[in-house]
Amino acid sequence: MSNSDEARISSLDAVLDETPQSDQIAGELFGVVDALDSSAMLRRSLTDPNVADGDRQGLAAHLLRGRVSEATLRVINEAVAGRWPGGRTLAAALERQAVRAELARAHAAGELDETEDSLFRFARLVESSPELRNTLADRRVPVEARQSLVGELLQGRAGTATTQLAKRAVVARERTFGNTIEGYVTLAAAQQNRVVATVRVARPLSAEQAHRLRVALSRQAGRDVTIQEIVEPQVLGGIRVELGDQVIEGTVESRLDEARRLFG
């Protein structure tokens, strides 16, 4: 991602964060994203670099005023003023804000931690079932049908935010359902100024081990760390930690690989 794209996204984040919370914003933004995804003409019109920023904002206001709340329009107004590389990038930026709006609503309800954890666990469930994973990824099946399946699987087992976001992840903007959910989990952690560490172990960590690891990783990251633990029997011993772009290996298997490189 370029520095200019990061700056635009940061500006959008700030606008949403300063906007009073509403139950409407997430759904309305998702609706606008769907409209952008389905219309190449709309994407071009709202990102055309040859059109003045104010004119693009005026077009968005003309199309959306009365159909979305003023709070949502404020976010869209900021978005279309940006010089995005293309319409798909604009749609992705608005999708990010829709997810953040849903997470902010969960935070206000005291359900953000549960939402973060439930999303992670549901993604692992999907990943562990090739049949389910392939069904959710099958583009021949209408999105609505796949979202309905997700809703049935989570009914009575997860909160509203988890269900809404898991259903949204079926669209798989980040290549796959799993990658998309991973992005949501990262945003949920960032909502409370935390980062996510994915920890792969052969056996579950004890409470003391998890606490010590969290303290050590928080010290390294410079802020609080959320640990998402994955038990994988093929991890022969020790631990593998993925913290952002960093991978920290501490497994017997990794040490064997190192020995093979040295003496092979």
Exposure string of 113-151, with b = 16+ CB inside 10 Å and e = fewer, is eebbbbbbebbbebeeeeebbeebbeeeeeeeebbebbe
In this predicted structure, the answer to whether residue 263 has a pLDDT above a threshold of 90 is no
Domain ranges for the chain, please list them: 3-108, 109-191, 193-264
pLDDT of amino acid 237: 72
- Dihedral class, residue 225 (left if φ above 0, else alpha if ψ from -120 to 50, else beta): beta
- What is the mean predicted confidence (pLDDT) over 30-51? 96
User: CA-to-CA distance for 70 and 82, rounded, in angstroms?
Assistant: 19
- What is the mean predicted confidence (pLDDT) over 62-90? 95
pLDDT of amino acid 260: 63
Q: What is the mean pLDDT of the chain?
A: 92
Higher pLDDT, 147 or 243: 147
pTM of the entire predicted model:
0.88
Report helix, strand or coil for 249.
Answer: strand
Which CATH architecture group holds 193-264? 3-Layer(aba) Sandwich (3.40)
230 alpha carbon, distance to own chain's centre: 19
Summarised one tens digit per residue, pLDDT across range 142-162 is: 999 999 999 999 999 999 999
Q: What one-letter code names the amino acid at 20?
A: P
Query: What are the tokens at 2?
Result: 């370029």
The H or E element spanning position 227 is: strand 225-231
Name the pLDDT band for 235 (thresholds 50, 70, 90): confident
